[in-house]
Every structure is written in structure tokens, then in C-alpha cells.
Structure 1
Amino acid sequence: MKNAFEITNPDWKLSPHTGMGKKHYIDLAKYLLERAFKNIHSIDTPLTFPKVPGKTYPQPNAPDWRYRSAEFEALERTFTLAGPLIHVDPEVEINNIKLRDYYKLQIYNAFTPGHPNSIPLPEDLPDSNYQFTCEFGGLFKTLLLMPETIWELYSEQEKDDMMECISKWGHHRTTQNNWRIFNIVTLSFLKKQGYEIDDDLLKSHLLWVASYHSGDGWYLEQTYNYYSISLFIVYTTIWNRTFGDEHYPEIAEIIEKSAQKLMESLTSFFGRDGYINMWARSITYRTWVSGAFPIAFMLKDKSLLDPGWARRLCSGSLLQFVTKEGFYHNDIPSLGFYVQKEYMLQNYSCAGSPFIMFLPFICLALPDDSPFWTAKENDGMWEELGNKSKRTVLESPGLVLVNHGKTGTSEIVPGKVYYDDPNYSKLTYNTHFPWEDHNPDGGTAMEYSFRSQDPRDVRGDDINFYLTGKTVDNDAFRNRKFTISQSMLFNGVRDGVLYRQAIMRKPPNNGVGYIIDLAEITIPGGVIRIDRTRLAFEHELTLGNFGLPHLNGVEAQVNQFDDKTKKTITASVPGRQVALIAYHGWDKLDSLVHNNRNAEADDSTVVYAYKKRMAQNPPMELMITALLHKTDNSEWTKEELSPVKNIEILDIMPGLSPLGAIITLNNGEKYTVDFKDIDGHRTC
């Protein structure tokens, strides 16, 4: 048998796209827990997973509390599956162990000071914030929604035994904005159960969280990312229905309105088949954003999402991973995306961290007659999209969402990124072409990659010394490598053209001399880029398309051909293809095979454009390209590889701004690319 999940007796009548109904969600939850419980032989055996070498925790020689944290994280995050299972079947067993009894005992042990498996109290550790707080939030979010699973089974004495630990962590120091939600959930649970809490602290956390609402249903979280959905919407909506509506109705209304607004664009984040995009940090959490689909049917207005489409996307996102053999490592979800990969991880993750990806299983808390379960699956707006592409602009978080009917893919185009991190700073993220890590030798996928050839950089001189007399670090060795943008700015959409800016260097190193002004036109299966360099000194530049993984050792097939108007390079692997067409501003097109940078395979191919400008004072220049993708094996047609009919480059635009263009597409559409006052429109 395949060493991955397979649907048994799919219900093609109810779910013609995935075969998944409520029974199959239950089957999948059991399957995942059976793998996780393979080494659990009795109710007394704590749930632990093998340490994964690399950057994740606990590191060798870590203090004991880091091991307690990893164990508690494994226990709590597997309860993301176990809690909903117990809710629908209190007698459910995994490997002959009754889940309800197992989690009741193990959580009691974790919260009882003095027990060998207990977690430390805050005063036992240096005054700081710890992963324990995060896991308390996850546990009590589930118990707010489904308290009967284990909490109501405890005796009053057992509850009192645990109360010191729960209360102290609930009241303890927290960090940043989304973490306040963990304290909110924990404190609210205690208050709901009749225990005394610091009400002023709870209200303070609530006001802080509400203050981060930015618009379009999004909340600020370092930069903007999936936490805005999974925590600020999923966790807080559960809090609303179970506590907030009664005790803090005004704050609950803020959360309710933001959740309702989010639902307007939620479906645009997913591919036609439900694929989720590999984007932002905590990539190993994968489908946790799909938890917003059942949440839609916990809102006051339950008509915001088509229920058949919601379940279709929710199911598709889970099947994207659980049906793949490489997804599992040590019998549990790997620390990666499709397979175990180190480069995309953060040091706050441990072996049990990925189980939060099963947040969508809160759908099992919905009643059997919920539309989420009874509606027939459908493809929503994709059914009408045809070969067209739909673009959704979220001004507040600076995100543009593109749904390509021609390829069934969805894209995230980020615009408010203030540091150089491939999790955030790519030009585009695509559901079916997961991003690749940066290549310091150039040719990075879906990035502008920059290398200075300024002789002062090459020597390691301070390029500003002649002005200031001061020195700043200018590492000649580091300057030999290509770098990616240090921030991405959102400049709005005007007349159908999306404007952003990639800042390749920040001050004090002449930040205004290292700008690439970005303009893009969405076309079916791709984008036309009309980008303006304002790079003041000698430099090299590359622009890559999506990387293609060498699955099963099959290398990409690369072809290149030119004509009088453009240079073209294509690459293909089974089921996926890319093309890069350079119309203006590039020296050549090429390809590279990358090692250990792709999310799916050890090797991958990237096609890219290259230019080198060695003038002391390079002029501004337009770089005009088309970046295309396909999700089949069909031959590229002449029409597909000729999306642009005419290009008129103007030194001075009619609106009196320098260096723009008028672009006419082959379908007759005409776009004016005018960078007028672009610096004044920037937001981040």
C-alpha cells in the first residue's frame, strides 16, 4: 500500500472533486494520529517525537525546559486532531488507547507541579516569554470550543491541582501582537470556568489586538502573513462565540466585522484544486489557514462563503499534503513543505510543530446539518473564470491576489515587506510553483538579484566616506555575492497596472540609488513586467522565473530561441512549464541548475534574464519581460509566446514623468506604464 493517506469509499456524489465528506475527515484524523501514536504503547507513555537535526529545537545541550516545551508542543498540537475526534466520538481509540483518557491524563500530568512530566512554572525560568504560552493558547482555544472533550471529565480537585500552572502562564509575560491572543484565550477560559483572573490584563490584551486591525480583514503581524488569518481570525472567532460575545461585545464586534471582511478574499488565496501557497514564515504549518473555512460557518452571517466551494478548498488543501509519501518524516508531518527541508524553517519549530496544520479539523465541531457538510462541492468562481485571470487588490496589507483560470494556479504578490527574506520578498508566490531559496551566485527564482560592480564595493571601501568622513561596514567578500531586495514597497494600482518598488540597498549605502520601480500587467498564465532601474552605480542584475523541481531525478528540458523583437527561454518538467520572454533591457537569457533550494526536490532548474552595466553613472533603463507558467505538458503556441504586440518607450510621459512606456497586448488591450510620483505613493 502507498505509505500515505488514501481515501476509502470516496463520496463522489456529495464531493465530485475530492470525494471527501465528514466521514473522510474522521478517517484522515485517525490515520494521522495512528502514525503519531506508533510508539505509544500505554496511556502512561508521554507523546514525544524524535528530534530532527538542524536549526529546530531543542538543540543539543539545551536546558531541560526546552525538552519539556517540545513535549508539551507535541501533546497540544496533536490535540488539534484528537480534540475534534473525541468531540464526534468520545469512545474513539487509537492503537487500543482511548484518546479521551490519554489526553486527559497527559495534560493533567503536564499541568501538575511536581510530576515528572510537568512543565515548569514561569518563576522557575528567567523572566521572558516562552513557547509554553503559545501552546496554552492552542489548547484552550480547542477547549473553549469543545470543553466536553476532556475538561468536563476532571474532578474539581484535579482542576484545582492544575490551576496554579494554567493561571500563572495565562497571566505571564507575552510577546508581540499575535501572542496576546494566547493569553486572551487562556484567561477567558479560566474566567468562563469560574476562576479569578486579572480582568484589566485581559481587557488590555484585547485592546492591543484590536489595535492591530489594518483593514481588509487583515492584522499587522511583524509584516503581513498567514497569522492574520489563522490566529487573528480563527482563534478570535472561536473566542467570540464562546466568550467574547457575552463578556466583551464591542471588541467581539470588531473581530466579527474583520472576519466577515476577510471572507471576501479568502478563497482567492487558494488554487482551483485547493492548493495553498507556500508563503511567509512558519511554512511548516501549511494548511492552518484553511481553518478559516469552517470558521466562516461560525460567524453570525453564515452566508459569506459558498459552503460547497469552502469544503472543496479545505479538503483540497489537506489532500495536497497528506496523500504524498515524502510529506511524512518519522511517521509524522515533516518539517518542510512537501518534504523535509531545512532552509525554509525557523528555530522556534520542533518535530511536533507541523500538527497545527490540522487546524481545519475544527470543522468536526460543526453539526452534521451544517452547510459545510451538506452542500455539494463546486469550484466557485473558477467555473466562470475560463482562461481569464482575476486580480484582487488588498490595499491595506499591500497584497495582490491573482487567480489564473488558464492554469488553475493562484498567486500572492506582496507589497509591504521591510526586510530581505525569501519567505516574504519574492516578486510572486504561486500555489503550484513553490518558492526557492536565494542563490548567492545569481539566477534566484522569482527575484531581482543584484550584485554591485562599483569599484568601491569591490575594494571594500566605504562609498560614503568622501562625503561624511565616517566609515560603515562594507565587506568586499560579501559584495561578491548576489543579494535580493532588502524591502518591498506597495505603490498602488493605477489604470490596471500594479506598482511596487524593490529597494536593493537601504541607507546609509545610498538607499535612493538602489531602486527598481516595478510595474506589472496580469495576463492569463503570467505577467508582463515593465520595470525601471534606478541603480546609480556599476552592477549586475538577474531576474528568474519560478523554479522547476527535478522530481524522481528527471531534469528540466530547456529551450531557447530569439527573433528580431524578443529573446525567449522555456523550461519544462512533467506537468509544469515556464517561459521567460525578454523584450527590452536585458543582455541575455540563461538557465541554472540549483541544488537544495527547491521545496520539492534536491535539484531544480531556473530560467533567468541577465544584464551587466559598467558605466560609472548608468542611465535609468526599462526592463520589459513576460513571465509565463503552465500546468500541463502541451506545447507552447506562438500566440502564448507572443503576448505583447507593441512597445512604445517614452523618455518623458504625457503626464510629465521620466521614462515610461505604452504597452499594447496581442489581445488589443493597451496599458500606460507611468511611474509619476511613485516615491510619494510608497507604503510599507
Structure 2
Amino acid sequence: MARRASARVRDHPGRREGERVNRRSTEHSPITGWDREHWLALADRMLEAARLVASPRHALLRFPGTPGGFGAEVDALEGFARTFMLAAFRVAGSPETTGALAAWYAEGLDAGTDPDSPERWLRPDEVEQAKVEAAALAIGLHLTRDVIWANLDERVQAQIVDYLSTFVGGTHPPNNWAWFRVVVEQFLASVGAPHSRGDIEADLDQLDTFFRDGGWISDGVQRSFDHYTGWALHFYPVIWETMLEADDPNRVRLPKYRAALDEYLVDAVHLIGADGGPLIQGRSLTYRFAAAAPFWAGALANTEAVPPGLLRRAASGIVSHFASHRAPDDDGRLSLGWHHAWRPTAQNYSGTGSPYWAAKGMLGIALPESHPVWTAVEEPLPVERGDVLRRITAPGWLVAGTPADGIVRVVNHGTDHGDAGTFGIDAPLYAKFGYSTATAPLLAGPSSRRLPDQSVAVVAGGVASDRSGFTTHVVDVVECDDGTPAGWAVSETTAHWVDDAPERPDYGTPWPGGTVRKGPRLTTASLVRGAWEVRFVRVARDPEQVVDGDELRVAGWPVSGDEIESSCSPRGAVATSSRLESRIVAIAGFTTSGRQLDDDATFLGPHSGTPWLAAPIPDDGGWLVAAIGLAGVTLGSAPTVAVSDDSATADVLWDDGARSAITLPESVASSAE
């Protein structure tokens, strides 16, 4: 296991070069150095940059860049609506000093909702994306109702009501979008405007079907787990609650929402790296520090599940992580990218105004400086306190964090943005076996589809098979002989390829069409502890198999950077950047090793390296075994593994002397001891 390290005061990367942190910041925020003044300064810098791209009456904010899939007019509406939400947080938290900011956005509200204005916005009944922005407008107006809404002319209020009302009775995708209509119509109800109680009830009923174990909420009925659980499905309920009248019958739902948020937050704080980096998994990553939103939602809800000092440390860590990497950039703008502009990060619905959904992660500035989340002393993240090994049942994740390097890793046996038994093309942000806070999956270039990272696949004609539609059998935590935990998970899939697939959304949703060719059955089991995963793979012929394949290939963690060094030997392969080492070690059954090198394949660096192992397709039903490691420090020795002669059990010896004895799955059933 990677060596331990404790949380400490340090020169946190969230500080810009030359920035001096005052003594109160150091005492109050000993880990990040960020206090409320840092947050306000960042918000002001972003809002000032927004003013520079505004139309004459401020309704359209045209950030530079290539228009998104919905066109330049939608991009400009997004620019206003999403920065307005940030401005609303700023005004709500400091109403006495933000009068000019409120007036500036009030003029934009007038121009955008005036049907005769040259700056008028596309309406929710004209373009689907306007429904998303309508929710941002409703939230902003609600939070500033005493400062902005109450001071608008009746004509402007009527215009806004007419604009938002075009969502009433409308349709939306069956996912987090249901909250958009709920908050829009709840705001209309709160100002005495026409709305539909039936719409609200139907949407809330639908949203209730997305709840899963442990406070997790799927973004729809499928296995769609990602940051939307936090920055949408837990974010909107706490704001919606503040819109409700005291006698609203929907208050009966609130205990369920509060309890789910509490449970989710306990998991969520385990998914942040010590450098503040959030888990790089799931769509819409260009929203960046929107990942901080659920922690502020917890503060707004006065949760007792996570202490306020830990909530702020999580949120400040995420935002300062991006600030330290010039996001926003030196002009105060957010590009389509991650640490910097990188267009492949964007989905096809993303435009130049889209990244400002990051504003959700700044909800905390709407809370007064006297709130406990601002007055408490920061507390360290779980990965800063010690080794982390955690099971998260709903998404089927094993979480492993190591304080020596601050990296959090997720081994995935439950999420693919699909359904068990429905075979489709793997979404690289959902269906891989591993995600972390320090690595990005290969998202661009030929390797991203032909020979992907973090995979177990049959290769046929130079193309690796997909795993989506797999079945999860076990996600558990087992005890080593010294009492420390290890993670144990098993899933099974039919290797398959989809030919002649039609164009489809680029964010993971399965899309009908194409021809599925089936290969052999693959059972994969993961034993996880510290920086290492022991991966067991077994191949069995499938009754519907039509493709035999050329070889079985297991690929490890991709590392990215300005330079990549790599090497391979009969025993395995390694790829290193200036800050990471990725290693894969052959333990049983593998005959070939290699490293795959790619250019401009991730947003973490111009070059990437992925180590891999391969073997001829076995026909004896035995286990192939590999050790897969990732660390920001020198990896310790790979675990050693002894599989019994009957392939029923395995004994794993870790580098610190701990031992795990496991029972390997027979076919579709598995257990651990």
C-alpha cells in the first residue's frame, strides 16, 4: 500500500502565484487557505468577465468560441441565465453591496423577455434547451426576490411570467430535467402566476423513481450515476424547499429528500482527491466546480451528516483546484474544457455559455458570513485522514484512496449509463473499469474506441469488445487477516461489437440500431486495496457467440502529461508522467505486455500512456490474473496471488504483509470470505 500521510497546513495550489493569505484564512482554513473573501473575489472576477461579452441591454452574453449544437442564440441565452444564477448567489449573500450588479441583470431580464426586443430570448416552447435556462432564471429570481423581483416594473414581471409560463404543460426528457419544470412552476406559484399543480406532482413522482440505495439518485431509470446526482438531483430539492409555502402538501416529501442528501454527502466527501480534484467520470465535465454544489446544498439544508468544516473544505478544495489551473482563465472566463480549453470535453449539447453551470458550485456565497459553514474551521477530507476503502452500492463502485498521494480511485462494476442485458457501445465516461481524481479516460483519437483504457476485452480485427449491458453480481468489502478492509466486486458480460451504429448522443445514452455481434462470456472480479487492484478474468464460450476473437486484452490506468515514459517486459508494463505511475503486472495466464501511446487523447496533457496485457483466448476456463496499480508516489511491490488448482479460491498477499483469502465465482454467482 502507498505510505500514509496526514492532513497538514500547506501551500495549497488553489492560491494564485504571489497571493498572500491573511492570518485569519490560515487559522480558519488551514488546509485550502480559502475563506469567503476568496469566493467572493472569484465570483466578482467571473461576473466582470461576463459583462464584457454582453449585448447592449445585457440579455445576451456571447462568450467567444465555436457555437454549440443548439446554435449561437442558445449559447448567448445560456451565458445570461447561468451567470445570472451566480449573480443571484452574490446578491443574496451580500444584498447591501451588490445593488449595481442587481440592476445590471434586471435590465437583461427586461430585454430578454420582451418579445419585441432585438435581444429577446428563445422560449421554452421554441427550443428545448431554453427549459434548462428557465430553471436558472427561476432560481435566481427566487433567491433575489426582495432585491430584483420586487423592484421590477409590473410590465417586466408580466414579461417574465409569460416567458416562464411557456414551460407549463410542456415535455422534458425523463431525467434530471424534471426538476427544471418543478422549480419554474413553483416559482410561478410563489408569485401568484398561473402554473400546473399536476405538472409539479407528475414530475416529483417521476423523480422519486430515480432514488437508489444509500442516498444515490440515478439520472433516469438506467444505471446513470455521475455528478448529476450531486449538482442536479440533490441541488434542486433544497432550493425548491425554500419556495414552498408552509402548508404546501408536497412538504411531506422533504424528509425523504433530506435523508437521501445526508447519506449521499457521506459518500461524496470520499470522492475528492486531496488536491481538490473531483472524480473524472460522467458527462458534462466542463461544468467543473459544479461538483461542489452538493456540499453547499448540505450547508443550506443544515445537514448534520457531514460537519460544516468538512463541507467547506470539500467545496473550497474543488473550486481552488480549478482556480490553480487557470479555470477561470486569466480573462476570468470558463472555456469548454477542464483545466484549460479542450473541445472534446464538451458533449454535443455544450456551447460557449454552458461551462457557467459551474455557478452551481458557488451556491455557498448566498449564505451569510455568519452561517456555520463559513465560521467552522476546515476539516480534512477522508483521503487526508488515512487510507480509504469504501463500497458505494448504487453505482457499483469500490472507492480506494491513499493519503500518500491524495488520489481517489473508483473500480466500477455497476455503472454504464445503460441496463443489464442491453448491449451497446461503451460510453468512455461511464463503462470503464476504473476512474480516478488524477486520470482522465481516453476521449479522443482512435484508441478511445478501438483499444480503450481500463478495459477487459476480446480483441477482434484490432477492435476491443464493449462491456455495457453487463450484470453486477457482487460489490462488497471483505476483511484481510490483519483486520484491514479490501474491496471485492464481480461483474459479467458478453463481449460484443456494434456494427453500423447510427449517430447517437455522445454522453452515454444507449441508442437503438446497429448490428450486435457477440463473442465469449467474460467474468471479471476485482480485489482492491490501496493503490492496487488484483483483476481476475475468466473466458467462457457463449451459446450465441459468433466472434471468437484474436486475443484477450486487459488495459490499465491511462496517465497523461507533457512527457510520458514507458517500458514493458515479459512480466508487465508501466507508463509514467511527471506526477503519476501506472503499472500492470502479469500474474497468471498473460503472455504479452505493451504500452499504448496516444496524443491529444485527454484533457490532462498532450500525451498519454496506457499499459496493457494480452493472452490468446483461453479455452480451459481458468483464471487470468493481473495486478493494476496507480500512484502519485512510487508504487510498492505488486501483490502476489496464488490460485488454487481447482480455480475456486485465491490467496492474495499485499505489499504490507496483509493477506486476503477469497472464493472465486463459479459462473454467475460469487462470494468472498
Instruction: Indicate whether the TM-score tops 0.5.
Output: yes
Is residue 270–residue 381 contact of structure 2 (8 Å, CA) maintained in 1?
Answer: no
Give the 5 Å matches for 1:282-301: 282-299=284-301
Deviation digits for residues 327-381 of structure 1, max 9, x if unmatched?
A: 6498521212223223332111101101111212110122222221111122143
Give the 5 Å matches for 1:266-345: 266-299=268-301, 302-325=303-326, 328=329, 332-345=333-346
Match of 1:51 among 62, 65, 71: 65
Is residue 84–residue 364 contact of structure 1 (8 Å, CA) maintained in 2?
Answer: yes
Q: Which residue of 1 aligns with 2:637?
A: 641
Deviates more, 1:502-511 or 1:337-346: 502-511
1:398 Cα deviation after fit = 2.4
Match of 2:474 among 478, 492, 495: 492
2:366 maps to amino acid: A
Q: Does 1:428 find its partner at 2:434?
A: yes
1:677 Cα deviation after fit = 4.8
Deviates more, 1:82-91 or 1:205-214: 82-91
Match of 2:464 among 459, 482, 490: 482
Deviation digits for residues 274-316 of structure 1, max 9, x if unmatched?
A: 21011111111122131111111222x5321122222112111
Q: Structure 1 residues 113, 313: closer, same or farther in 2, change over 3 A?
A: same
1:156 Cα deviation after fit = 2.3
Q: Describe the SS at the equivalent of 2:263.
A: helix
Q: Which residue of 2 aligns with 1:542?
A: 553
1:5 Cα deviation after fit = 5.4
Match of 1:9 among 13, 21, 46: 21
Q: Does 1:591 find its partner at 2:605?
A: no
Q: Structure 1 residues 488, 153: closer, same or farther in 2, change over 3 A?
A: farther
Q: Distance in 2 between matches of 1:609 and 1:376?
A: 47
Q: Structure 1 residues 24, 114: closer, same or farther in 2, change over 3 A?
A: same
Q: Structure 1 residues 39, 179: closer, same or farther in 2, change over 3 A?
A: closer
Q: Which residue of 2 aligns with 1:570?
A: 574
1:74 maps to amino acid: G
Is residue 70–residue 352 contact of structure 1 (8 Å, CA) maintained in 2?
Answer: yes
Q: Distance in 2 between matches of 1:67 and 1:539?
A: 47
Q: Distance in 1 between matches of 2:133 and 2:516?
A: 42
Scaled by the length of structure 2, the TM-score of the pair is 0.84
1:629 Cα deviation after fit = 1.7
Is residue 278–residue 429 contact of structure 1 (8 Å, CA) maintained in 2?
Answer: yes
Deviation digits for residues 238-274 of structure 1, max 9, x if unmatched?
A: 1123327641111223222221221221201111232
Q: Which residue of 1 aligns with 2:42?
A: 28
Q: Describe the SS at the equivalent of 1:190.
A: helix
Q: Structure 1 residues 493, 354: closer, same or farther in 2, change over 3 A?
A: same
Q: Which residue of 1 aligns with 2:545?
A: none
Q: Structure 1 residues 44, 91: closer, same or farther in 2, change over 3 A?
A: farther
Q: Distance in 2 between matches of 1:444 and 1:218?
A: 28
Q: Distance in 1 between matches of 2:154 and 2:449?
A: 63
Match of 2:565 among 536, 557, 565: 557
Q: Which residue of 1 aligns with 2:187?
A: 189
Q: Does 1:651 find its partner at 2:649?
A: no
Deviates more, 1:618-627 or 1:289-298: 618-627
Q: Distance in 2 between matches of 1:376 and 1:573?
A: 35
Q: Distance in 2 between matches of 1:285 and 1:326?
A: 11
Is residue 111–residue 166 contact of structure 1 (8 Å, CA) maintained in 2?
Answer: no
1:441 Cα deviation after fit = 8.0
Q: Structure 1 residues 535, 109: closer, same or farther in 2, change over 3 A?
A: farther
Q: Distance in 1 between matches of 2:344 and 2:494?
A: 23
Q: Distance in 1 between matches of 2:647 and 2:150?
A: 73
Deviation digits for residues 386-439 of structure 1, max 9, x if unmatched?
A: xx3x22222233233322233311123331323410010111101011222371
Deviation digits for residues 565-593 of structure 1, max 9, x if unmatched?
A: xx133332212212211111212211122
Number of residue pairs matched by the alignment: 611
Match of 1:606 among 601, 605, 610: 610
Q: Which residue of 1 aligns with 2:524?
A: 518
Give the 5 Å matches for 1:226-305: 226-243=227-244, 246-247=247-248, 248-299=250-301, 302-305=303-306
1:674 maps to amino acid: L
Is residue 311–residue 373 contact of structure 2 (8 Å, CA) maintained in 1?
Answer: yes
> RMSD of the TM alignment (CA)?
2.9
Higher RCO (CA-CA < 8 Å; seq separation 6+) = 2
Q: Structure 1 residues 481, 643: closer, same or farther in 2, change over 3 A?
A: closer
Q: Structure 1 residues 502, 20: closer, same or farther in 2, change over 3 A?
A: farther
Is residue 407–residue 436 contact of structure 2 (8 Å, CA) maintained in 1?
Answer: yes
Is residue 542–residue 610 contact of structure 1 (8 Å, CA) maintained in 2?
Answer: yes
1:122 Cα deviation after fit = 5.2
Match of 2:75 among 70, 73, 92: 70
Deviates more, 1:310-319 or 1:242-251: 242-251
Deviation digits for residues 96-147 of structure 1, max 9, x if unmatched?
A: x932112111122212222211124455x4xxx6000011112212333342
1:41 Cα deviation after fit = 8.5
Q: Distance in 1 between matches of 2:456 and 2:89?
A: 45
Q: Structure 1 residues 110, 19: closer, same or farther in 2, change over 3 A?
A: same
Q: Which residue of 1 aligns with 2:171?
A: 173
Match of 1:663 among 646, 652, 656: 652
Match of 2:454 among 446, 451, 464: 446
1:326 Cα deviation after fit = 7.2
Instruction: Return the index of the structure with the highest Cα Rg.
Output: 1
Q: Which residue of 2 aligns with 1:109?
A: 111
1:85 maps to amino acid: R
Q: Distance in 2 between matches of 1:540 and 1:224?
A: 31
Is residue 440–residue 483 contact of structure 1 (8 Å, CA) maintained in 2?
Answer: no
2:35 maps to amino acid: G
Q: Distance in 2 between matches of 1:122 and 1:493?
A: 42
Q: Distance in 2 between matches of 1:395 and 1:373?
A: 32
In structure 1, stretches of 5+ residues that fail to align are 59-65, 453-478, 654-659
Q: Describe the SS at the equivalent of 2:212.
A: strand
Percent identity over the alignment is 19
2:21 maps to amino acid: N
Q: Distance in 2 between matches of 1:254 and 1:317?
A: 27
Q: Describe the SS at the equivalent of 2:299.
A: coil
Deviates more, 1:542-551 or 1:324-333: 324-333
1:12 Cα deviation after fit = 1.2
Q: Distance in 1 between matches of 2:328 and 2:164?
A: 34
1:491 maps to amino acid: H
Is residue 644–residue 650 contact of structure 2 (8 Å, CA) maintained in 1?
Answer: yes
Q: Which residue of 1 aligns with 2:415?
A: 416
Is residue 17–residue 312 contact of structure 1 (8 Å, CA) maintained in 2?
Answer: yes
Q: Describe the SS at the equivalent of 1:597.
A: strand
1:445 Cα deviation after fit = 2.0
